[in-house]
């Protein structure tokens, strides 16, 4: 697992606003690698923890904050929270209900991104947005139609 929460770059949009990319805990897992098959489903959320580090987690039905280790290549932008891939494409946004396969694995509870836990959910699948509170852009909807056909 790589260290998370430190600035990894600044992205400049056309409107000249800057969004800081932050590292999130990642594993070496990539599509095609062997994977566990437990299902995680919840709402993407994040915020600053006691150390002041910004962390990204999943809010589960019975668990208020699930520590997550994301697949290789993911990072996050804040204000608003967006999980992005290596090409800087938005994978999910704060408030999106997401699901992915994977399984629990050990983490260092002293790392802020572990949320004080000894295990985290290791995502070993494509993260899928199940539902969104409606803040995906028309560009994202068009990309989804191109990738998956009309809904």
- Tell me the per-residue pLDDT of 65-105, one tens digit each, with 9 for 90 and over: 999 999 999 999 998 999 999 999 999 999 999 999 999 99
Average model confidence (pLDDT) across the chain: 83
Q: How many CB atoms lie within 10 A of CB 148?
A: 8
Q: Is residue 1 part of a domain?
A: no
List the domain range (segments joined by +) for residue 47: 7-148
What's the number of domains the chain is made of?
A: 1
In three-state secondary structure terms, 140 is helix
Q: Is residue 2 part of a domain?
A: no
Using one digit for the tens of pLDDT, what is the confidence trace for 33-55? 999 999 999 999 999 999 999 99
40 vs 104: CA distance, rounded Å: 10
Q: Is residue 20 part of a domain?
A: yes
Instruction: Say how far residue 90 (Cα) sits from the centre of its chain.
Output: 10
Q: Is residue 103 part of a domain?
A: yes
- Max Cα–Cα distance, the chain, nearest Å: 46
Q: Is residue 137 part of a domain?
A: yes
Q: Is residue 121 part of a domain?
A: yes
Using one digit for the tens of pLDDT, what is the confidence trace for 115-148? 999 999 999 999 999 999 875 544 444 444 444 4
Q: Is residue 55 part of a domain?
A: yes
116 vs 129: CA distance, rounded Å: 27
Q: Is residue 80 part of a domain?
A: yes
pLDDT of residue 135: 57
């Amino acid at each position: 697992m790589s260290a998370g929460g430190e600035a990894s770059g600044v992205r400049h949009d056309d409107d000249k606003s800057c969004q800081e990319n932050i590292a999130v805990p990642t594993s070496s897992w990539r599509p095609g690698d062997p994977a566990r098959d437990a299902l995680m489903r919840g709402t993407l959320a994040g915020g600053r923890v006691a150390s002041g580090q910004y962390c990204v987690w999943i809010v589960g039905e019975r668990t208020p904050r699930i520590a997550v280790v994301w697949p290789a290549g993911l990072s996050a932008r804040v204000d608003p929270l967006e999980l992005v891939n290596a090409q800087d494409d938005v994978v999910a946004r704060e408030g999106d209900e997401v699901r992915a396969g994977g399984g629990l694995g050990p983490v260092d509870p002293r790392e802020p991104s572990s949320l004080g836990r000894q295990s985290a959910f290791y995502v070993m699948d494509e993260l899928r947005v199940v539902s969104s509170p409606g803040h995906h852009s028309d560009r994202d909807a068009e990309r989804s139609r191109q990738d998956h056909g009309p809904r």
